[in-house]
Amino acid sequence: MKYLLVLAVLWVAIWLWRKNRREEMRDAMRERAAKAQEQQQRTTAGTPQAMVRCAHCGLHLPATEAIAGPGGAVYCSTAHREAAARQ
């Protein structure tokens, strides 16, 4: 009878250990999937943009963020556009 009790306790211990391992594996798989999805979003969100150079300081910036000035020149800020207009 005592062998059955020891066997039952051993069986419950192994069952609990395996259940815990399965949950850890599921969590790890979810984390990997989330990281893969995040990496995929970063690569698709970073599409190349046209770059232009500020006529005042020479800074390269995306054309969508540039400020147009007189004569087709582009600037990185309104302060640089105004400084170029004063010269």
Q: What is the pLDDT of residues 4-37, one digit of tens each?
A: 999 999 999 999 999 999 999 999 999 999 888 8
Kindly tell me if the per-residue pLDDT of 86 is higher than 90.
no
Q: Give the three-state DSSP class for 82.
A: helix
- Hey, what are 22's tokens? 């399965």
pLDDT of residue 46: 64
Kindly tell me if the per-residue pLDDT of 85 is higher than 90.
no
Per DSSP, the chain holds a count of helices (H) and strands (E) of: 2, 4
With tokens 């990997």, the residue in question is: 32
Model's pTM, two decimal places? Answer: 0.47
∠ CA 43-48-53 to the nearest 5 degrees? Answer: 140
